[in-house]
Structure 1
Amino acid sequence: MIESDLSSISDIDQYHDTDLNLSSTSSNNSSRQNSIYRHNHCNNQKPLNVSNSHIVNDKDQYESKLLPETLDISLPNHSMKNINEISIDIGGSLAKLVYFTKDPINLNGVRLNFYKIETEKIEEFIQFLKNIILTHYNNSDQSPVIIATGGGSHKYYTKLSNELNCKIQREDEMQCLIIGLDFFIRSIKNEVFYYDDLNNKYIDIDKSDDQINDISSTSIYPYLLVNIGSGVSMIKVTGPNEGNFERVGGSSLGGGTLWGLLSILTDSNSFDEMLEMASTGNNENVDLLVGDIYGRAYNKIGLKPNHIASSMGKVFKDVIDSTNEEGKPLTREERLNKFDQGDIARSLLYAVSYNIGQIAYLQAQRFNLKKIYFAGSYIRNHNQTIRTLSYAINFWSQGDKKAYFLNHEGYLGAMGAFLMRRNEEEDLSTNNILHDTTTPSN
């Protein structure tokens, strides 16, 4: 886990030489080929030179001398030559973008840049795209292509095509998620981590250079991907090839549920404010605990006194038994003011996260999967969310399964789309698409 990205939670087939800068860091054909990332999840894959790739977590490595909200990934041995694809993933809540820029430190290499904004601000998102195209993609012989995924790639297709005046190539959402996760797992050091509850710390899953991009390795399979955005999708992945994945379940109770409830019950105006509010709250003031019912632990079934028996379970009794200064039942506003907003935020964060964790465990148990990767904009590298999901998986599986997380957890779809090649056979004027199959997306 990258410290600088989580400063608030410190307590716990073929490739083409013309496309790639194959540097002298590779001493022979074997090492040279191993530096080229390729996946087999689709036919139109785009290779990347991932030799010495790394997350840029030093502020001095940025021109602004400030760390961005999402850290860049440096590909120091990949050339910017003939780069003309940009990828976007427009979901129900957030629009995400992945694009290349020249590396200001390693001048022969490039960086993967990441950007996100609320989907409701689509005009601002499109203007940002225009600026990126003008600044970084204006020197190619070919016009840039926007490779798009997510529900918004369909909803805003005409708008994007007209305002950006370039080809929009839509790709399957689930496929992009799997490709993006595959890239992050196999190619980027210190991208994946897990939470060690016993020692209250995060542990990076480091990789040796030999492990990076070992396409023959099947050690990462099988696994369950739990992608949490507005809703939840759960995808079983059994191998590295096209068709080796299946959406096995999901839930409508996801990030959108938490955001919606807290936007009504608290004064917060953004999800980040909600998470900050939750970090200051005490859910025991509103949740009904095992200790509240039994007066102690229920050791026979492994329940501690502070285990939640009913989320928000204390609220009803406290409200019904209360009157205002005039001896009348509390008004709606008085009811809300009776409880600390941080307590409510923390309780609902736990409720949604535990629910997702339990469903994820049941799906993993159903298919005998030991590894569960949690991703999506809901997580945001937030301490309580990560700990809650980790605890849920460990508790229900009795340590038999493990929850894993990623530093770029919100960009799997956009990254997967970025790794698709532009479809050269389609003409801009036709406005055709490569894939137009809508994938169930909660």
Structure 2
Amino acid sequence: MNDRPPPLKRRRVSSSAEDMQHSIVDPGTIKINVSGAYIIDNGEAQSPASDSSVEEQGYEHDRRDIRLPNHTSVVSHVAADIGGSLAKVVYFSREPGAKEPGGRLHFLRFETEKIDTCIEFMRELQKKQRRANGGKQSELCVMATGGGAFKYYDRIKERLGVDVMREDEMECLIQGLDFFITEIPNEVFTYHDEDQDNLIHYTDARADVYPYLLVNIGSGVSMIKVEGPSKFQRIGGTSLGGGTLWGLLSLLTGARTFDDMLAMADAGDNSTVDLLVGDIYGQGMGYDKIGLSERTIASSFGKVFKRKREAEQNAEDGQLQHEDGPGGYDTATPEGAAKQQSDRKFDIGEGRMFAPQDISR
């Protein structure tokens, strides 16, 4: 007697450009007209319908929307990618008063630890959809992927009272990437570090995208060899990813949200802490023979030890000046530093050799 359970049904593997296009625009139960789609930049990131800060709201509305000028049918779906660090939500809305038909895809980010805020946002979307379309509550459908689609499945279904369709994370990732590569202009580019005046070069959309290597940076990093819409293989990865960045920056800085951390990193200068090829070969010099420019990182955080050692020496010098200098101060205080006409303060009592903000100078 065979006690083995019946094999799981696998999705049909797309084998043609037509099938690939179908898998992109028709993920099972919904069809989106993506002809003429383009990205709209609305300026600064927003938290819609509120003047509250991102921290108070618990989410951020990306400043870039995708305009779908030729999609006119009702979209009753909300899509959510719930990862280990962030939960990303995509929804479609009409544009009241717009002269042309169609609508927009909106993109939001929530910290996963605030998943209840994310669910509440979807509940508000559910109410708006019901008012706009006269639909029943059960007509809304949540398409969810990522680990959180399983971890929070019961909570989402109970709070919203709707079907939650869980989709394979990697298939969604690859089909979504195919959508951007083949349908959205100015989404694929090459980066040329040696050309500081023209760093980014956009490439034309193309259908023959396979094979390619997909490096997906989430809480961790996965490297995936992609040979078709449903033909892929994970070939490597690392645990050092976005979660690592978030953890380190939360320890080193006063940033309180993920986007604060990204903004801080963007404003910083990595050459103050990373050892570059130019530091080894000399200013203006690279290792051109093997394709390494002057600004290529030779060793991440390779300068930190030197900076720390210099800070320790400066701290010792400052302590000696404090002990030998006039005034008889018992502790190194800001007032004491002011009397010494010094613009430098050393927090030697806390064992802090240099301040976190020094990293971004």
The TM-score, its normalising length taken from structure 2, stands at 0.69
Are 2:135 and 1:140 equivalent residues in the alignment?
Answer: yes
Kindly tell me the number of residue pairs found equivalent between the two proteins.
292
Match in the other structure for 2:62: 69
Match in the other structure for 2:30: 46
Q: Distance in 2 between matches of 1:40 and 1:125?
A: 25
Contact 1:85 1:145 in 2 (8 A): yes
Alignment of 1:35-434 (within 5 A): 38-39=22-23, 44=28, 46-57=30-41, 69-81=62-74, 83-104=75-96, 105=98, 108-138=101-131, 139-140=134-135, 143-197=139-193, 198=195, 199-207=197-205, 217=207, 219-240=208-229, 242=230, 244-290=231-277, 292-293=279-280, 297=285, 299=287, 307-320=296-309, 322=313, 323-324=315-316, 325-326=318-319, 330=348, 333-337=351-355, 340-343=358-361
Greater RCO (Cα-Cα under 8 Å, separation 6 or more): 1
1:184-211 superposed Cα distances (whole Å, 9 cap, x missing partner): 222223333333443424333345xxx7
1:209-238 superposed Cα distances (whole Å, 9 cap, x missing partner): xx7xxxxx4x11111111111111122111
Secondary structure, counterpart of 1:227 in structure 2: strand
Contact 1:288 1:308 in 2 (8 A): yes
Q: How far has the Cα of 1:132 moved from its partner?
A: 0.6
Q: Distance in 2 between matches of 1:221 and 1:334?
A: 51
Once the two structures are aligned, what percentage of the paired residues are identical?
46
Contact 1:84 1:137 in 2 (8 A): no
Secondary structure, counterpart of 1:49 in structure 2: coil
Q: How far has the Cα of 1:314 moved from its partner?
A: 2.9
Contact 1:41 1:179 in 2 (8 A): no
Contact 2:79 2:144 in 1 (8 A): yes
Unpaired segments ≥5 residues, structure 1: 1-33, 212-216, 344-442
Contact 2:273 2:359 in 1 (8 A): no
The TM-score, its normalising length taken from structure 1, stands at 0.57
Over 3 Å counting, the alpha-carbon distance change for 1:115 and 1:317 in structure 2 is: closer
Q: How far has the Cα of 1:331 moved from its partner?
A: 5.6
Over 3 Å counting, the alpha-carbon distance change for 1:313 and 1:238 in structure 2 is: same
Q: Distance in 2 between matches of 1:339 and 1:57?
A: 31
Over 3 Å counting, the alpha-carbon distance change for 1:158 and 1:333 in structure 2 is: farther
Contact 1:37 1:48 in 2 (8 A): no
Q: How far has the Cα of 1:310 moved from its partner?
A: 2.6
Over 3 Å counting, the alpha-carbon distance change for 1:275 and 1:234 in structure 2 is: same
1:148-181 superposed Cα distances (whole Å, 9 cap, x missing partner): 1011111111111111111211111111101111
Structure 1 stretches of at least 4 aligned residues deviating more than 6 Å after TM superposition? 40-43
